[in-house]
Structures are given as C-alpha cells and as structure tokens.
Amino acid sequence: MEKFIELAKKRGSRRSFTDKPIEKELLISCVEAASLAPSACNSQPWKFTIVTDGAKRKELAELTQDAGFNQWAEKAQAFIVVSEDAHPAVMPKVAERYGEKRFAEGDVGMATAYLLLQAEELGLGACVIGTFVDAKVKRLLGISEADTVRAIIAMGYPADEPRPKKRKSVEEISRII
Ligand SMILES: Cc1cc2nc3c(=O)[nH]c(=O)nc-3n(C[C@H](O)[C@H](O)[C@H](O)COP(=O)(O)O)c2cc1C
C-alpha cells in the first residue's frame, strides 16, 4: 500500500487500453471502494452498473461519442456507469430544509473519486466520460428513468501513460484565514 498522496499523484485518466479483459473481482472491488465514500446522512445515493458484455460495451461506447469525441472508448474492456438515486435517503428534517437532492451530486462525485483511486491501486486504467445523453444510456442499460446518470467510467488495462498533470497551484486555490 502506498501513501495516499502518491496514489493521487499517480492516478491520471487513461484513454488507451490493451485487449486484456478485467477480472470481475477487480471491478467489484472498485465499487466496494466507492461504497466507502462519505455521503449526506449516510444516504449513499449512488448506483453502479458494471458493463462487461461485448455487445452492450459497443453500444455504450457509441453513446459516449455524443459530442463527437471519445472514440478511444471503443477499446475499453469494461464500463462502470455511475447513477444517482432519484430520492436520496437523507433525514426528513434535512430534506425539508435543504431539499432531498441538495447533496447527492457531490456524494456521487466523491464515490466516483474513490472508485478511480481504487482502479489505480489495482493497476487498472480509467477515464470518466461526461458527454452522453442520459436517457439513451438509461434505456440501453435498464437504469430507472427517475435516476440520473452522472458518469460513465471507461476502464481497461492501460496501454498508455497518464498525461502530465496540469493543476492550479495550491496557493491559487486556497487561502488560510
Ligand atoms: C465529470 C467529468 C467528465 C469528463 N469527461 C471526459 C470526456 O468526455 N472525455 C475525456 O476524454 N475525458 C473526460 N474527463 C477526464 C478529464 O479530462 C480529466 O480528468 C482532466 O483533464 C484531468 O486529468 P487527469 O484525470 O489525468 O488528472 C472527464 C472528467 C470528469 C471529472
């Protein structure tokens, strides 16, 4: 096990994959890591659809190209589709005061980050894809119409190196008061 900061620095989006299929246990382990993320009122408003079937993968890869890019996704050996529960189980008082959905997108984002870091830890490559039409993905995968698909994570054994990290400096994004 490496130090967290090292893992975070090492993780980078991968957009090129070998033909080696990903073992199901590894995909499940990524979802388990995601399930450990914090969430408002422990509502855990996330759902994961693991797609390994060849025909479904092909159709899903096509849906990721909605904006005219992401052709590389055709080589992904698996996808994990992250969706958000239509009715996150937050405490009634919290729902009343802030709205039941107020925290869900952030919660799902945190779970996605955990998933990506576990993939890195396991030697898998992954890239989040955000450009797709929600309704088409739900129809293809039988995800409830009421839920929201937040991300499609393309995965495979990496055949490339991550791009060099370009980040705003810590000074630029933070202040101590
Ligand atoms: C919500 C979201 C949507 C993204 N959508 C795409 C996408 O459609 N295609 C793509 O190649 N990368 C996509 N990315 C990956 C980002 O480009 C990438 O995370 C960012 O450039 C930082 O690089 P790094 O992940 O290597 O650190 C997406 C990332 C996020 C978080």
Q: How far is CA 126 from CA 2, 35, 137, in A?
A: 19, 18, 19
Residue 12 beta carbon below 6 angstroms from any ligand 1 atom: yes
Q: In this structure, is residue 40 part of a structural domain?
A: yes
Q: Tell me how many domains the chain contains.
A: 1
Residue 128 beta carbon below 6 angstroms from any ligand 1 atom: yes
Q: In this structure, is residue 177 part of a structural domain?
A: no
Calculated CA dihedral for residues 129, 130, 131, 136, nearest 10 degrees: 90
Among 9, 48, 51, CA closest to 32: 48
Among 177, 104, 120, CA closest to 153: 120
Q: In this structure, is residue 150 part of a structural domain?
A: yes
Q: In this structure, is residue 138 part of a structural domain?
A: yes
The whole-number pLDDT of residue 2 equals 62
Residue 141 gets the label, from left (phi > 0), alpha (psi -120 to 50) or beta, of alpha
Biggest CA pair distance of the chain: 54
Residue 136 gets the label, from left (phi > 0), alpha (psi -120 to 50) or beta, of alpha
pTM above 0.85, yes or no: yes
Q: In this structure, is residue 132 part of a structural domain?
A: yes
Residue 88 beta carbon below 6 angstroms from any ligand 1 atom: no
> What is the CA(36)–ligand 1 centre distance, in A?
22
* Alpha helices for 41-157 (secondary structure H): 54-63, 92-98, 104-121, 134-141
Domain enclosing residue 150, as ranges: 12-159
Q: Give the CATH number, domain containing residue 74.
A: 3.40.109.10
Ligand 1 atom at minimum distance from 165 CA: 27
Q: In this structure, is residue 172 part of a structural domain?
A: no
Q: In this structure, is residue 29 part of a structural domain?
A: yes
- Residue by residue, pLDDT tens for the chain (177 residues) are 569 999 999 999 999 999 999 999 999 999 999 999 999 999 999 999 999 999 999 999 999 999 999 999 999 999 999 999 999 999 999 999 999 999 999 999 999 999 999 999 999 999 999 999 999 999 999 999 999 999 999 999 999 889 999 999 999 999 999
